[in-house]
Amino acid sequence: MIHIPALRFGKAYTSLEKATLVHHVTGDPVAEVSQVTGSMIARDLGGMAAAHKLLAAIPVRDLLGMYKKAADYFLNAALPCGDTELTFADYVRSLSATTGSPMVFCDRNARKVHYVLANIEEVIGGLTRGLDLEALDRGYTLKNGRMQAFYPTTDVFGAVLPSNSPGVHSLWVPTVAFKIPLLLKPGREEPWTPFRVLQAFLKAGVPPQVLGFLPTDHAGAADILRLCGRSMAFGDDKTMAPYKNDHRVEIHGTGYSKFILGEDQADDWEKYLDVLVEGVAANGGRACVNASAVWTPRNGAAIAKGLAERLAGVKARPWDDPGCEVSAFANPAVAEAINNLIEEGLKTPGAEDVTQRLRGTPRLVKEGRCAWLLPTVVTVDSPDHPLANKEFLFPYAAVVEWPQYDVLKRIGYTLAATVLSDDPGFVADALACPNIERLNIGPLPTNRLTWDQPHEGNLFTHLYKQRALQHARPAGAGV
């Protein structure tokens, strides 16, 4: 069995208390992960000012070169994982074993992390909107004769991470390039990706003093969010509620992403069916950018039937089957709770599970230690129905028929919206809509991301603030 230590900013740490990770199918132990306490976290954070100075002294071009090397190591090298080494294939298999996410999903999402590592200059250029990289070295730059100056908001960036998909780790990967030390609290079942990224960084030459991997409990996670000057956290609405108004914490929670058809396209919905299916079902429906609703001014029943017909054939498959389309739940109780919540919602008049009618079998499938939820498309008669604005960890979508003139007022918070319309007025209204964070106009699935644009906040503006700067010395002199 693999033992994964904590990394306490330059020191590997083996604890007496360890979390045991088991295979989601067999229940056999796969790994033990050393745990740290809140007092250890506080002690380690006491050294971050020195670590920040160490990292800030490295030229940004040198750091970008380390990222290129780290990208190659992440994908192609056998990297340390505690007391052993894992190839990329070994890593993918271990990741799938403890999370229940199929190997084909794990491989695909891990390659998103590799993409960000390999294309870090493009990513940084997008997040900074083309800022001259010298600003990260000097603290300021001149652009078109105008001064631009920035200062860091923290000596360390903390990330409290989830266990659902390795693709989310792409969001914190640029932190080191922005010259901010990094503290990672991994999800309980998913230490594999953050540990592998840090090992790739170390092999590429990033100083160990600026990298922390601190597995801990819920209290320790709260300490990280309380003590770090800036952080990000992943969780549902209830878990993230205490941090909703804390500017130091960038929240990545429930997305409530949507497709919105305009009046001019509602009768041509069939030509968008492939886009709808991808947005709802890609990656097993587990991402916050997967669509959980389709809003249309008419033809709601037809759209739901068309979408359900395409998804009703999805079956539960073993974790190592390359044809997997949905993830297993390593804890069947979670799948049962979600299923019960949907069944309870269907008791409220005005909703129908169209997929179950077509499929003829229940959405909940149980086998041994595992459970699956099969894709579910429901129709609802109002935005106020309890199933109209829900998001679950599997392919689920509610089809809501509602007038175009009122739709943008009723959709609520929406992380990613795809507006299917050529109506200039409606597109302009969508561009101005404060409820939408990511906006796709035209036939682009909600899950189709570009890594050079912000996602639920902008990491650069989270880590740096712009300041006014006047320089009395000649241009080019150091500050």
Residues sharing a CB contact under 8 Å with residue 164, sequence separation 6 or more, in sequence order: 99, 101, 187, 190, 286, 393
Give φ, ψ of 332 to 5 degrees. -55, -25
> Beta 464-467 vs 146-152: how paired, if at all?
antiparallel
Those residues of the chain that have pLDDT short of 70 are 451-452, 454-456, 473-479
Count of beta carbons in the 10 Å neighbourhood of residue 305: 18
Where are the chain's structural domains? 2-253+456-467, 257-441
- Does residue 200 contact residue 159 with C-beta atoms inside 8 Å? no
Bridge partners (DSSP) of residue 252 are: 234
In whole angstroms, what is the distance from residue 146 CA to residue 150 CA?
13
Nearest of 38, 6, 9 to residue 19 by alpha carbon: 6
Nearest of 225, 196, 227, 237 to residue 213 by alpha carbon: 196
Residue 124, token pair as written in the block? 């940084």
> What is the predicted pLDDT for the residue at 475?
55
Q: What is the pLDDT of residues 151-207, one digit of tens each?
A: 999 999 999 999 877 888 999 999 999 999 999 999 999 999 999 999 999 999 999
> What is the predicted pLDDT for the residue at 266?
98
Domain formed by 257-441, architecture: 3-Layer(aba) Sandwich (3.40)
Residue 396, token pair as written in the block? 């689920």
Give φ, ψ of 300 to 5 degrees. -60, -45
- Does residue 446 contact residue 291 with C-beta atoms inside 8 Å? yes
In whole angstroms, what is the distance from residue 226 CA to residue 75 CA?
34
Nearest of 316, 331, 256, 325 to residue 99 by alpha carbon: 331
Q: What is the largest CA-CA distance in the chain?
A: 77
> What is the predicted pLDDT for the residue at 479?
37
In whole angstroms, what is the distance from residue 90 CA to residue 117 CA?
20
- Does residue 153 contact residue 180 with C-beta atoms inside 8 Å? no
In whole angstroms, what is the distance from residue 119 CA to residue 10 CA?
27
> What is the predicted pLDDT for the residue at 477?
43
Residues sharing a CB contact under 8 Å with residue 247, sequence separation 6 or more, in sequence order: none
Answer yes or no: CATH 3.80.30.20 is held by domain 2-253+456-467. no
Give φ, ψ of 325 to 5 degrees. -125, -15
In whole angstroms, what is the distance from residue 269 CA to residue 420 CA?
9
Query: What's the half-sphere exposure (Cβ side, CA atoms, 13 Å) at 243?
Result: 25
